[in-house]
Each structure stands twice: as C-alpha cells, then as structure tokens.
Amino acid sequence: PSGTWLLYLPCTWSIGLAAEPGCLPDWHTLSLFGIGAVLMRGAGCTINDMWDRDYDKKVARTASRPLAAGDISTFQSFVFLGGQLSLALCVLLCLNYYSIILGAASLSLVITYPLMKRITYWPQLILGLTFNWGALLGWSAIKGSCEWSVCLPLYLAGVMWTLVYDTIYAHQDKRDDIVIGVKSTALQFKEDTKQWLSGFSLAMLLSLCMAGMNCNQTFPYYSAVAAIGAHLAHQIYTLDIDKPEDCWKKFASNRTVGILLFIGIVLGNL
C-alpha cells in the first residue's frame, strides 16, 4: 500500500546518505527498515482504526474497515496490535543502542497522531513528524548517532512532503469530515490549497539541497531534486481538489517522488 512506501522511503534516503562515498547503501539495514515499515505502518493503521471506529462508520470509504463494520472486537484489535508492536520491537532491537532509544521515542507520535484531527486543523503536520522519523533513524542505524546538519534538513524535507501529499489525500474526505466534525489542512486551506502546497514543496526542495550540501552530495543528487521539483509542480498544477479520484491519483504518485530521491542519493554517492 502507498502508506507503507511513504513511511519507508524517508528511511531509505537517510540510509543512502549515510553510506560511505563510492558505496551502495547497506542492504541489510534497508531490509530491516522495510520490515519495520510494514509492521509500524500496520500498527499505525490499527491504532487509527481503534480511535476512529465510531467516525469510520459514518464515512462510506471507511465503513467496511473491520472494527467499524463490527467484524472484530476491540479486544481482538488490542491483541493484534500487541503482535505488530512486538515484532516491530524485534526489528528495533537489531539496531544500535542510540537507534533503539530514538526509535522508541517515536511511539508517542504513533499513538497520539490519530487524535489530532479532533483538536487541530493541522493533523497532517503531526503525521509528517511521525512518518518521517526514519529520516533520523536510518542515519543513526548506520553511523551510531545523528549528524544533525544532515538529518534535520532531511527530516524537515520529509515533513513538508507529507504536508503536500496528505493535504491532497484529505481533500478526498472533506465533505464527510465536515459532517462528522473532524479537521484537516484541506478544510483549513480550502481554495488556497495550491498556494500552500507550492510553499511546502519549495521548503522541501530547499531542505533537500541543504541536506545534500552538508554531506557533500554530487550532481546526480541535485538532478533528482530538480526532477522532484518538476514532479511536484506538475502534480499541484493539474490537481483538481474537488475530484476524489484525481486526489487519490496525485497522492499515490508521491511514491515516485520518494523513489526518485533514493535513486539520486545512490547515484550521487557512487
């Protein structure tokens, strides 16, 4: 699913940037983070569905989810969540001590994010802080600690990227959200959405340039950043915020953005 890719790709960026010049990223670490992304994305979905089971019943797109539909009980979902988090912990324990502590620190964000749409019009910002934790964790898994001059701009770029794609995603549900009383950046920005998305995209590109300069990246990296800029510009220009099917198509295309950057990082390192 798209969500798993969008959680995993910032991890790959960080792992790629942390590789030694002339070397490919560490495939063992990439594999561990891939397993972790599947497990933690799944755990996040379980937590989200537990918090939102009463809301999900009222929205056509989510009414068939197992908890909302009554196919499983709350207790069964707790058991399932326990299994997901236990397996994710096994993955985390394969990393160094610094990364174990850093990874565990993200759990509070995973648990509280689903509540944010009840209290703020900016739940997409909290999702960005949650989904891009791998931009910090990937580097520390390779190096043993974070190089903040690289990791923080990379993390910020990921947060800005999430604000782009998840605002687009939120426009699918804005009519239902108004009825059931939940908030989103789609409802906050309304017809000004494209201007906001353009600002977030520019901030993402500038942050990626800063991260690249701080770890001596080369021409292929900046070529990938330029390609991402073109992709985002096309995505925003052609977006129809009132057509859910177009919003979904644009949202899903962000996997290409993440893969483009990873390829640019690998080629830049080589």
| CB of 56 closer than 8 Å to CB of 68 | yes
C-alpha R_g of the chain: 18
Q: What one-character-per-residue DSSP string does 30-75 give?
A: HHHHHHHHHHHHHHHHHHHHHHTHHHHTTSTTTTTSHHHHTSS-HH
Give the dihedral sign, CA 128/132/133/139.
Answer: negative
Q: Each residue of 101-115: pLDDT tens digit?
A: 999 999 899 888 888
Q: Each residue of 42-94: pLDDT tens digit?
A: 999 999 889 888 878 877 778 888 988 889 999 999 999 999 999 999 999 99
pLDDT at 63: 83
Reported CATH class of domain 2-269: mainly alpha
| CB of 232 closer than 8 Å to CB of 201 | yes
For the chain, give every domain's residue range.
2-269
| Whether residue 129 has pLDDT greater than 90 | yes
Q: Indicate the pLDDT class of residue 17, thresholds 50, 70 and 90.
A: very high
pLDDT at 188: 96
Q: Indicate the pLDDT class of residue 181, thresholds 50, 70 and 90.
A: confident
Mean of pLDDT over the chain: 94
Give the residue-averaged pLDDT of 137-160. Answer: 97
Give the residue-averaged pLDDT of 142-154. Answer: 97
| CB of 236 closer than 8 Å to CB of 163 | no
